[in-house]
A and B are shown apart, each in its own frame.
Chain A
């Protein structure tokens, strides 16, 4: 549903079917709704069979990277004698994104089921669900659900009576966006500073505790039981006829200046214009949409011309100059100052930089300072060139892409809303603040 609003008829409710339904939270309620049937089925299959179904379905990582999940699972070599680990990335910190929290607080067992199937499929006996420390309710509900599931023997040393061990543990983060990066998450889990690691080695070779590890997003794992229950073909049918590369449904977290913010679930390829104006209710009264960041703050900002022509799947977003990312959809109306918001985003990245790489550590802070100076009316035209060059130095040169992510909104802003930047510089003040004060 466009939770917390009523479901829209054009949504396709798979993962979000029970959002807002308190009865789906407990084990009994989940079982009543068909829960753990897929797990039972999976434990009777071979891991390879499960991997193949997931591969076939076309499921791609829903955390932002969009990497084919079945392929990722196939990197875990069976029979290597090493303990394998599954890590569920529930660090959800990408600005604009708030879907994993809903999955965890309304259907915690859905995630446990997905984790258990995933663990078994990759030969892991242990799964850690790394939940960001701020997610009080999801943490409580996941901890309670894990206890329930263990007590009922659904997971644990003898999962569903099969003699196979599947342990799922909740691990609480402590406030760091960068721990959403898979290798940083592994470091954090190990009790270290959340620094991303150099790759190679890749997690499937040497991950958490130096052992083969797969990291998957909450939404990705939550989709797995549905795929096993309904089949890969069912999942593949939910796609544009001319784009088989993006399949299934996606939870879109819509926020910002929009009539009905919330999580919407639509099939891949849904037309973005319809989505924004029809499902989400369009802009607030008296306002017009100005910009959309479709996939969380790290993807290029779209102007409305681009957005209204885009289709909501991985390739469709790229075709219009942005990315699907985490589908954290931030909508900005014409009362907002782009310079201010981009400055605020730069500040976000500067706050979250882990400090390893020179360009990120210094560049995020430098970009922020220049942006804030421009917003305060003390910028120069040369600053715009400097910002773009700093952004260039921050792109493609660091251990992880936080650095690139900071450069993205700055570049989008200067490219597409140059007039706003120039107004700040030439007018020596923020025109929006001046207008609001008037």
Chain B
């Protein structure tokens, strides 16, 4: 979920993306928890005394398989874990790492909290925005390859500026390193 500069704008954003055909609402949902994934989930369930405790892991499985968590996927997870879809959605919207709509192939997350901020993190952000041609935070590039967002402290403050691209964690990024980094992505 893009972290927009506007404090109040995020909800309006999620409303705007609600029900948009661009998010695959028209296509039927292929179940995630079948075959191997179902087995993985069942194994996981053995670790906890409640089904609900497998919710975050189950949502990760969905995102790993599909790239984002759709409402249909939320409904499937709810069914599998004996929860309600509304409940699952409440959890999904709490955690920033679950995407509620598709994002660019390379989801670029730059830490700009103070420890990195004083080390020039904003310059890194601008470098990414320029070289990916995204132009704006949270907006996927025309070719669908990149989305750039600012995130909060990634816990690698001594290796400023850390950047995550999907789940790849890259330390010590400077504006100079950005073009090279991007060139290595497909």
A contacts B: CB pair < 8 Å: yes
A→B interface (CB under 8 Å)? 4, 83, 92-98, 100-101, 126, 132-137, 167, 169, 171-177, 188-194, 209, 253-257, 261-263, 297, 328, 330, 332-333, 336, 340-341, 344-345, 348, 350-352, 354, 365, 368-369
The smallest C-beta distance from A363 to any residue of chain B, in angstroms, reads: 12
CA A342 to CA B73, docked complex, whole Å: 39
Nearest opposing residue in chain B for A340, CB measure: B117
| Chain B contact residues: helix, strand, loop or mixed | loop
| Contact, CB under 8 Å: B3 / A344 | no
CA A330 to CA B157, docked complex, whole Å: 9
List, sorted by A's number, 15 A–B pairs whose CB atoms are closer than 8 Å. A93-B153, A95-B113, A95-B152, A96-B114, A101-B156, A172-B57, A172-B60, A174-B97, A191-B50, A191-B51, A192-B91, A194-B94, A209-B48, A255-B157, A328-B157
Q: Is B167 an interface residue (CB 8 A)?
A: yes
**Residue of B91, B97, B153 contacting most chain A CB atoms (<10 Å):** B153
Task: Kindly list 13 other residue pairs between chains A and B, CB separation below 8 angstroms, not including A191-B56, A194-B94.
Answer: A83-B49, A101-B155, A132-B155, A136-B168, A169-B47, A172-B56, A173-B56, A209-B48, A255-B157, A328-B157, A348-B153, A351-B152, A354-B94
CA A192 to CA B57, docked complex, whole Å: 12
Q: Is B31 an interface residue (CB 8 A)?
A: no
| Contact, CB under 8 Å: A253 / B117 | no
Compute the total of residue contacts between A and B using a CB distance below 8 Å. Answer: 151
CA A332 to CA B90, docked complex, whole Å: 38
CA A312 to CA B18, docked complex, whole Å: 51
CA A4 to CA B159, docked complex, whole Å: 9
Which residues does chain B contribute within 8 Å of A132, judged by CB atoms? Answer: 155
CA A153 to CA B168, docked complex, whole Å: 31
Q: Number of residues in B with C-beta < 8 Å to the partner?
A: 45
Closest 3 CB pairs of A and B: A191-B55, A174-B95, A175-B97
CA A169 to CA B60, docked complex, whole Å: 16
| Contact, CB under 8 Å: B157 / A344 | no
CA A132 to CA B155, docked complex, whole Å: 9
Partner of B117, one of A176, A177, A344: A344
Knowing A330-B115, A344-B117, A345-B113, the reply to whether A174 touches B153 (Cβ < 8 A) is no
